[in-house]
Structure 1
Amino acid sequence: MKRLLVLSWVLMGSLSFGQSEKDVTVKRTLKLMGTRFEITVVAPNEEIGYININEAVSEIKRIEKIISSWDETSETSLVNNNAGIQPVKVSSELFGLVERAKKISEITDGAFDISYASMDRIWKFDGTMDRAPSEKAIQLSISKIGHEKIILDYNERTIFLSETGMRIGFGAIGKGYAADRAKELLVSKQVKGGIINASGDLTTWGTKTTGEKWLVGIANPLSKEKVFSWLPVVESSVATSGNYEKYIVLNGKKYSHIIDPRSGYPTSGVHSVSVFAKYAELCDALATAVFIMGKDSGIHLINQIDGVEVVVVDSDNKIHKSSGIMFNNNP
């Protein structure tokens, strides 16, 4: 589950002349892609604002029809249904998304992997599990996972899952991608500013109606109702992975519901990860990857990627950050 520690968006900085005094802020909250979306736009009036939001909703629904593994008519389902059988010709949009996902798998050594959808669900986080599955069951559950088994043919624009029973899923990248595309659409229509929050995968552009910056609040790990620090998100995105609600405790050790696709075991040692970058798609994927990789390896990776930053809260509620993060406790 993705959950962004955003308590509110506030104002900072001096006024700019980028917005008209007559502009209004329009927001709508709804369920899309099986999760909560909040779409906020700056518009000349409410009517235009709601028209803009409806256009963004239509774009998100269009993307869902392509990447949903629950919709049997989607391109993704067609790819999954032909696993081990034959390559499937797909749209350039889906091909590009899978191509980028594979590249993220490579730089994260498989901590992020869209073939995680092949995993058997042997871990239960509903309170019914009192012991870990057997090692044999765990290894069997991940036997079909591996980004290298996703074969892309660039000439034919096909995707082939090389083993029967393989599946791909976009749960750790799809909402971020949809947020990016909805933002791109609204920017192309000269919408001056806004926020698209896809259940914790958040992207912004422009400014508030006053011309001041959007800020995101990172919650204090010891008190979720208090802000530890405010960070500006200017023409940028942020995504957070956390283990607040879904976890288990076995032999006194807490395990997250986020499973390492390489080992088949739940992750431990990290409480939350917030990744900042230009695109929500990248934030989404890297937040999951860093959570799985752990504090030290994850921050080391982020420090090597230009334009990407991270804040990690470990299991002892200590806060760690990449080299480019500057905390601001007083917005």
Structure 2
Amino acid sequence: MLLMPMSKSQVLKVVLLLNSFIAFCNSSTAQVLLKRQVTLMGSVFQFTLVDRDSVLAKRNMELVISEVKRIEQLISEWQPETQISAVNRNAGVRPVKVDREVFDLTKRAIQYSRMSDGAFDVSIAAMDKIWRFDGSMDEMPEEAAIKKSVERVGFQHIILDSANCTIYLERTGMKIGFGSIGKGYAADKGRALMQAAGVKGGIVNASGDMTTWGEQPSGKAWVIGITNPFKRHKIIKALKLKESAVVTSGSYEKYAEIDGRHYSHIINPKTGYPATGLTSVTIYGPTAEFANALSTSIMVLGERDGILLLKRFPGYKGVLITDKGKSLFIP
């Protein structure tokens, strides 16, 4: 075949087209993976972002960290200047006006309490701390002390006024706290912010409450392993996740061993006694907030009632491990 020579202008056009094609390929396929670990909300957060370039990745990393800090400054019960601290200080005194975001989170927490028949209760923050889970406890507290410890607990006494956007705790000494679902909520919000910013994929790991989206730079799904608390070196299930969330509630790190019985650091808000029967509950589904509400509730409810609760929400699945080491995969 005879090839005709090209003019300088034709050569220039070819070069420009080639450069445009290369630039398009680079912009559509080039990816960087950026990781960072930060202490936030009293816990270790690990952020993983898959972005188009390192400049964007660093900028978006600062955005997602700032988002978690913003949420902490709204809902922390330990920082005196937060809205939740103001609600707690005014328990039994007056309603406190809060941001709609705080109001809605509290409203959902009350819904979780109702769905679990009180196994989950955002007002457990007021419970007397009579249990120790640092290995120093070798006998049960007095029954009267256990009963007294939950006197100020009760989601039924959280009064919400949607028109005025206020929260009122009816009983003096009541408190609400988001230690159970707050980190999951922050992980969900962080993921949503990064998706809106165009970040291609990533993980927000809020000390075990994880949200994922997109893919790894290789194009593969994120793989999250569920470990066996009785055999830490073994993975009992590997989850391949894209846009999903996974959380674990467990008693394998913080617990008390009394008279040969295992007592979880997760307390039943209605009785004041630690949960027994389950060593860990892992829930995975669309959001970390709701998954955490489920995992906490199931730890308290136990195997039978916990499975019945989970089956009411087919968008969520679970792995339950009993105190005897039995693994249950639901559904």
TM-score, scaled relative to structure 1: 0.90
Match of 1:144, as an amino acid? R
Which of 252, 259, 274 is equivalent to 2:267? 259
Unaligned runs of 5+ in 2: 1-24
Looking at structure 1, the residues matched to 249 and 40 of structure 2 have their Cα atoms a distance apart, in angstroms, of 19
Residue number in structure 1 paired with 2:8: none
Give the secondary structure class of the aligned counterpart of 1:25. Answer: strand
Looking at structure 1, the residues matched to 54 and 231 of structure 2 have their Cα atoms a distance apart, in angstroms, of 36
Looking at structure 1, the residues matched to 208 and 231 of structure 2 have their Cα atoms a distance apart, in angstroms, of 19
Residue number in structure 2 paired with 1:45: 53
Is the CA contact (8 Å cut-off) linking 1:299 and 1:321 kept in structure 2? no
Deviation at 1:130, TM superposition (A): 2.2
What is the aligned-residue RMSD (CA, Å)? 1.3
Give the secondary structure class of the aligned counterpart of 1:181. Answer: helix
Residue number in structure 2 paired with 1:156: 164
- Residues 74-98 of structure 1, C-alpha deviations (whole Å, 9 max, x = no match): 0000000000001111100000000
Is the CA contact (8 Å cut-off) linking 2:264 and 2:275 kept in structure 1? yes
- Residues 68-126 of structure 1, C-alpha deviations (whole Å, 9 max, x = no match): 00110100000000000011111000000000000000000111111000100011122
- Residues 248-281 of structure 1, C-alpha deviations (whole Å, 9 max, x = no match): 1111111111111111001111110001121111
Looking at structure 1, the residues matched to 185 and 242 of structure 2 have their Cα atoms a distance apart, in angstroms, of 18
Check if 1:287 corresponds to 2:295.
yes
Looking at structure 2, the residues matched to 220 and 130 of structure 1 have their Cα atoms a distance apart, in angstroms, of 26
Give the secondary structure class of the aligned counterpart of 2:29. Answer: coil
Is the CA contact (8 Å cut-off) linking 1:138 and 1:264 kept in structure 2? yes
Check if 1:69 corresponds to 2:38.
no
After the TM superposition, which of the residue ranges 41-50 and 145-154 deviates more from structure 2? Answer: 41-50
Deviation at 1:177, TM superposition (A): 0.4
Residue number in structure 2 paired with 1:58: 66
Which structure has the greater CA radius of gyration? 2
Check if 1:277 corresponds to 2:285.
yes
Is the CA contact (8 Å cut-off) linking 2:225 and 2:238 kept in structure 1? yes
Give the secondary structure class of the aligned counterpart of 1:40. Answer: strand
Deviation at 1:219, TM superposition (A): 1.4
Residue number in structure 2 paired with 1:199: 207
Check if 1:234 corresponds to 2:254.
no
Match of 1:49, as an amino acid? A
Residue number in structure 2 paired with 1:85: 93
Higher relative contact order (CA 8 A, sep 6+): 1
Which of 303, 309, 326 is equivalent to 2:317? 309
Looking at structure 2, the residues matched to 260 and 67 of structure 1 have their Cα atoms a distance apart, in angstroms, of 22
Is the CA contact (8 Å cut-off) linking 1:21 and 1:210 kept in structure 2? no
Deviation at 1:221, TM superposition (A): 4.0
Give the secondary structure class of the aligned counterpart of 1:264. Answer: coil
TM-score, scaled relative to structure 2: 0.90
Match of 2:69, as an amino acid? K
Is the CA contact (8 Å cut-off) linking 1:207 and 1:213 kept in structure 2? yes
Deviation at 1:245, TM superposition (A): 1.8
Paired positions, count: 306
Equivalences for 1:55-204 in 2 at 5 Å?
Answer: 55-204=63-212
Give percent identity, aligned residues only.
45
Unaligned runs of 5+ in 1: 1-16, 324-331
Give the secondary structure class of the aligned counterpart of 2:321. Answer: strand
Deviation at 1:20, TM superposition (A): 4.2
Is the CA contact (8 Å cut-off) linking 1:215 and 1:232 kept in structure 2? yes
Whichever structure has more helix as a proportion of its residues is 2
